[in-house]
Structure 1
């Protein structure tokens, strides 16, 4: 059964939206609380929950996942289920289209996520035909076939962040992803947090808040 997304409505006139995807095994509720502490009053936040999928690296046990991961080897280019990644990107962009129907155009919709959710958001940003307001990519990587991406520059601002003590998605992979994204995104920032693992910290949340306010100038 699909779990409805957690929606944090704007507390003032709704002029922008953030769609944020959680990491593997989490739910939309897992990030809603933290994002509610930094949400500007004009911003609506949508935190969907991924479908229950059997995850290979979890012994085939089902958990909320945006796509299957078949290997822990970060150098394995086929470690992510590419069809699943494509499905997740389409799912995310359909939410963006849904906001457009409510009067919030794509360039006022920011997407983002943590870990697996951040990976989907990065892929969506680099493949979207429309410019989005921005992308918040936390502790993540660029999934799927990278060579298949169109070699074009996107104007969507990207805030990418990673802890240098991350034992789940290595900092090296995050830095390598940063180099790829920087070559395709005209406005890209990569922030490193010393001593931070696979998590979020108050300092990171404060930087996300600044990115939101700078991007959505009222």
Structure 2
């Protein structure tokens, strides 16, 4: 789908630090999930509630968008793709918009006083790794 999307303020699930905020982790969910869903899954997996003395954990939710592999149905995905296959290029217009969303999230953390070298961007979605590297 080639419809343009504007950059929105994303819904976020945030786990605050217990002390002085000196670092942030922004963790992206997989296709069709939410920030709340991946946060809950990780909390169940590691069992500590994701509470750290100085690290703020941010779990944003991708804005709903028509998702081509699901016949254009709305889904919370970070970017569209033409189909699910390792040899199909990404839908670059939607990748550009995703990068704008992620840059805004990073700038929000910087505005709160966190230097960029104290912000980690992570994901469990292997398809996002090359995109994050490209940023």
* TM-score band, normalised by shorter chain: 0.7 to 0.9
Q: Deviation string for 1:188-211 (max 9, x for gaps)?
A: xxxxxxxxxxxxxxxxxxxxxxxx
Q: Which runs of 5+ in 2 are unaligned?
A: 1-7
TM-score by length of 2: 0.80
| Higher Cα radius of gyration | 1
Contact 1:2–1:51 (Cα < 8 Å) also in 2: no
TM-score by length of 1: 0.51
Matching of residue 105 in structure 1 with residue 105 in structure 2: no
Deviation >4 Å, runs of 4+ = none
- Which digits, 9 at most, give the CA deviation of each residue in 1:122-165, with x for residues without a partner? 423443xxxxxxxxxxxxxxxxxxxxxxxxxxxxxxxxxxxxxx
Counterpart Cα distance in 2 of 1:126 and 1:61:
27
The answer to whether the aligner puts 1:8 opposite 2:15 as a matched pair is yes
**Cα distance in 2 for residues equivalent to 1:72 and 1:125:** 20
* Cα distance, 1:69 vs structure 2: 1.7
Count of aligned residue pairs for this structure pair: 123
Matched, 1:123 2:131: yes
Q: Tell me how large the CA RMSD over aligned residues is.
A: 2.1
Gaps of 5+ in 1: 128-218
SS of the aligned residue for 1:10 comes to: coil
Secondary structure in 2 matching 1:57: helix
